[in-house]
């Protein structure tokens, strides 16, 4: 498995049932400004941060690498280029931080025992580009 994406669901009642709704639906799905990338033992904290951020109305998606040895730089570069803000969360000493930094040099990486509040703080205060 390359990765699992947890995408922000559309508002209640919005569907891709007809052409006009389909266009609005696609635009809505493509508009999430934040992406959190997580792997291994950091996934639970990332999921908690995602749920909390969504409760506060933030549009956040999550990319999960469940296998500690898994890394797909192509998927990370592709996903990372579609979001305004990207944050990577990884266990300390996993090497994932270096892999993400090589694939996306401008992305902040939390390489410590991640806490939900720390992930949310970085999401809110880190612009992705210049």
Say how many domains are in the chain: 1
109 inside domain: yes
73-80 and 96-103 helices cross at what angle (nearest 10)? 50
Per-residue pLDDT of the chain (130 residues; tens, 9 = 90+): 455 666 666 556 555 555 555 566 556 555 667 888 888 778 888 888 888 888 887 788 888 887 666 677 788 888 777 777 788 888 777 787 888 888 888 777 776 666 777 777 776 666 544 3
CA distance between the termini of the chain: 34
Look up the CATH number of the domain holding residue 84.
Answer: 3.40.50.920
Give which of 8, 2, 113, 117 is closest to 58, Cα–Cα: 8
Please tell me the pTM assigned to this model: 0.67
Distances (CA, A) of 16 to 21, 84, 107: 5, 25, 32
pLDDT of residue 1: 42
């Amino acid at each position: 498995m390359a990765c699992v994406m947890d995408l922000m669901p559309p508002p209640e009642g919005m569907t891709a049932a007809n052409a006009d709704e389909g266009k609005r639906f696609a635009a809505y799905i493509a508009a999430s400004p934040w992406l959190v990338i997580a792997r291994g033992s950091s996934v639970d904290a990332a999921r908690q941060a995602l749920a909390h951020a969504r409760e506060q109305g933030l549009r956040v998606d999550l990319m999960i690498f469940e296998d500690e040895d898994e890394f797909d730089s192509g998927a990370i570069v592709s996903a990372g280029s579609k979001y305004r803000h990207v944050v990577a969360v990884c266990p300390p000493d996993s090497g994932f931080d270096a892999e993400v930094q090589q694939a996306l040099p401008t992305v902040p990486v939390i390489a410590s025992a991640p806490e939900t509040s720390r992930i949310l703080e970085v999401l809110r205060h880190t612009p992705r580009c210049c």
